[in-house]
Amino acid sequence: MSNIEPETVTFAGKIYSLDQRGFLKSPEQWDEDFAEGMAEVQEIYGGLTEKHWDLIHYIRRKFTEEETIPVVVLACADNNLKLSDLRFLFPTGYHRGACRIAGINYDFMYKTNFWLTYETTTLQKEEYKLTHRGFLEDFSKWDERFAQIIIREWKLPGGLTDRHREIISYLRDFYERMKNIPTFFEMCKANNLDVDEFKELFPEGYRRGACRIAGLPFFG
């Protein structure tokens, strides 16, 4: 059935098995690669920062040393986090986001305190409005999450790199000023790019690849 989460995930070449609700099955399997990989699934893009790690280590510590998981308000109070900070750090919430990344399994949380799973975060993010060609309708609605979604579509092994970001920001900048796109050669020259590297970065080409991921409208 479509409602059941996938049973395994692969991060950094390692296979992790998940329980029915998409939480790590056995906590011993947890490592930093899992955290980084799961973070992206939980809509944290651009890697885990120190602030993320602080909370993750706090949860791990509570779990391994005290065999408990504090509820969201107490966790925030302990870590000097505002609820809004938490939402920023972990968009899918405390127990569904942070605890999942920290590799705590669902059953443990449920048995510790079923109120943990009572947290009512907004799960749904607004979807991006796309044109029939798959281009972003509104240039101003672009954010890094959009780029991440497109990159995932392309199945690039390295994901979104800083090089991508450079070129995207160049394109967005250019479009904002000129309401037009630079020619391919202008773009390559400005970014010190050769055709081979470009093909690797944007397998879908220039207009349908680079311009699309930058949230520019379609230029036929």
Partner 1 sequence: MSDENTISHEKVREEVINAIKAIDNGPQVLKLYMEMCARCGTCAEQCPVYYGEPTKERNPVLRSDLIRSTFKKHTTIAGKLLGALDGAGDFDGDMEKWVTQFYECTGCRRCATFCPFGIDNSVITRKGRAIADKLGLTPDTMKSVVKTSLETHNTDGASPEAFKSAIDFLEEEMKDEHGIDIKIPVDVEGAEFFYVPPSGDVLVNPEATTGIAKVFYVLGMQDNWTMSSKCFDGANYGLFTGNDTDMKADNKPYVDEAISLGSKYMFMGECGHAYRIMKMMMEKGKWWGDLPFKVVNCMEWTADQIEAGRLEFDKSKNPMPVTYHDPCNFGRSCGIVEDPRVILKATCQDFREMYPNRGENWCCGGGGGLSAMDDIHDFRMNVSGRKKMEQVKDTGAKYVATACSNCKRQFMQLIEYHKADFAVGGVHDMLSRAIMINGKAAERIDYES
Q: List contacts with partner 1 (CB under 8 A).
A: 3, 71-74, 76-78, 82-84, 87-88, 96, 110-111, 113-120, 122-126
- Least Cβ distance, residue 178 to partner 1 (angstroms): 32
Considering the complex, state which of residue 12 and residue 74 has its C-beta at the smaller distance from partner 1.
Answer: 74
- Least Cβ distance, residue 206 to partner 1 (angstroms): 33
Considering the complex, state which of residue 1 and residue 178 has its C-beta at the smaller distance from partner 1.
Answer: 1
Look-up: residue for tokens 């890697």? 47
Considering the complex, state which of residue 93 and residue 182 has its C-beta at the smaller distance from partner 1.
Answer: 93
What is each CA distance from 207 to 45, 154, 167, 201, in whole angstroms?
24, 15, 13, 13
Considering the complex, state which of residue 124 and residue 192 has its C-beta at the smaller distance from partner 1.
Answer: 124
Q: Is the Cβ–Cβ distance between 213 and 202 less than 8 Å?
A: yes
Q: Is the Cβ–Cβ distance between 168 and 144 less than 8 Å?
A: no
User: Per the structure block, which two tokens stand in for 189?
Assistant: 């020259």
Q: What is the DSSP string of 86-102?
A: HHHH-TT-IIIIIHHHT
- Least Cβ distance, residue 25 to partner 1 (angstroms): 16
- Least Cβ distance, residue 3 to partner 1 (angstroms): 6
Q: Is the Cβ–Cβ distance between 94 and 119 less than 8 Å?
A: yes
CA-CA-CA-CA torsion sign (27, 33, 36, 37): negative
Euclidean distance between CA atoms 46 and 71, whole angstroms: 27
Considering the complex, state which of residue 82 and residue 132 has its C-beta at the smaller distance from partner 1.
Answer: 82
Euclidean distance between CA atoms 107 and 125, whole angstroms: 26
- Least Cβ distance, residue 56 to partner 1 (angstroms): 20
- Least Cβ distance, residue 106 to partner 1 (angstroms): 8
Considering the complex, state which of residue 87 and residue 172 has its C-beta at the smaller distance from partner 1.
Answer: 87
